[in-house]
Amino acid sequence: MGNQFVGRGVNVVKKILAIHTGGTISMSQNAQGEVVPNDQNPIAQDATILAGRVQLITDEMFNLPSPHMTPVQMLQIKQRILKAEAQGIDGVVITHGTDTLEETAYFLDLTLPNTIPVVVTGAMRSSNEVGSDGLYNFQSAIEVAAADASRDNGVMVVMNDEIHTARYVTKTHTTNVATFRTPTFGPIGLVTKGHPMYFQKLIQQTTCDIDHVIDGVYLLKAYAGMDASLFDALATDQTRGLVIEGVGAGNLPPATLPGIQRLLDRQIPIVLVSRCYNGVAEDIYDYPGGGIGLCKMGLLLCQGLNGQKARIKLLVGLSAGLTGSALADFLRTAVS
């Protein structure tokens, strides 16, 4: 058959760029049972089993455990994808460690034009563990990236036979192979019998092209008895922005308010989301520290995103030079 993709609904040769960045999917378990990086990525080496189905182009950009990933590397991945797209690539698969996978996926979702399928995948079990899921997830991701039906869905995360949007997916379990879930909304599709099936459509969002990333954007999680000390520690010229995971629908202990006001007085944008696993932040409560008063102070309510995603969005907006009402409009909801 030659280099012809045989998944249902696809009858032409597809050129797929596989960008490997490291993580558990590229690691192995040693004799002591410790999961450690390899000198060579076994997934990249094993990718030859797909040679008869797509024209696969491999780029081993990084070999990083996912806690080592930073927005600088995320930007480099974005730039590599744009280069490949200009060269006529049909889709992209990125293998990535799972700890920060959702942040890289959402960064790309915000900064890439929504033109070709871009899929991020990983593994919860290393390459030589019993029940290793890496190669299977990688193959599923290639199936999704090569399918015409995958266009116009933004960046997707494919794990454990499910297709999720980068915008809403999150890691929910430390070790389970079914760790990636989309609270509230669920996956947009499934991978079944070697091809993607979609059941929901992503609401489009505006992308924000950037050529650099700034530092000094932070994330704090509210807790019972929290005071102003952490906010005062951030009241420096190095702080460019802050995301707060409030309790409940988006509320904070009243003792935090003086410190928050001091940050606002320094013209530091502050975004409010909920620390809850499900639901969206809303300005419902009108008491000291309630969401209504926080919004009146000038905090920007970001609905539908968790703390780490909201931080990525704030970082992207600030890196693009957005300020004032333009930044507020960009941040206000998950759909820009």
Contacts of 236 (CB under 8 A, 6+ apart): none
Say if residue 283 carries a ligand binding annotation: no
Q: Is 58 assigned a catalytic role?
A: no
Question: How many Å apart are CA 269 and CA 264, to the nearest integer?
Answer: 7
| Residue 166: closest CA among 125, 98, 119 | 119
Q: Is 24 assigned a catalytic role?
A: yes
DSSP code per residue over 216-240: -EEEEE--TT--SHHHHHT-STT--
Question: How many Å apart are CA 243 and CA 145, to the nearest integer?
Answer: 32
Say if residue 182 carries a ligand binding annotation: no
Q: Look up residue 203 and give its two tokens.
A: 């609401």
Query: Longest Cα pair distance anywhere in the chain, in angstroms?
Result: 69
Looking from the CA of 86 toward its CB, the CA atoms found within 13 Å total 7
Output the CA–CA distances (angstroms, integers) from residue 213 to 10, 22, 133, in the order listed: 37, 22, 33
Exactly one of 24, 104, 165, 170 is catalytic; name it.
24
Say if residue 274 carries a ligand binding annotation: no
With beta carbons less than 8 A apart as the criterion, state whether 82 and 115 touch: no
Exactly one of 21, 98, 121, 165 is catalytic; name it.
98
With beta carbons less than 8 A apart as the criterion, state whether 309 and 106 touch: yes
Within 239-282, strands assigned E span: 241-246, 270-274
With beta carbons less than 8 A apart as the criterion, state whether 221 and 245 touch: yes
Binding residues for substrate: 66, 98-99
User: Which are the catalytic amino acids?
Assistant: 24, 98
Binding residues: 66, 98-99
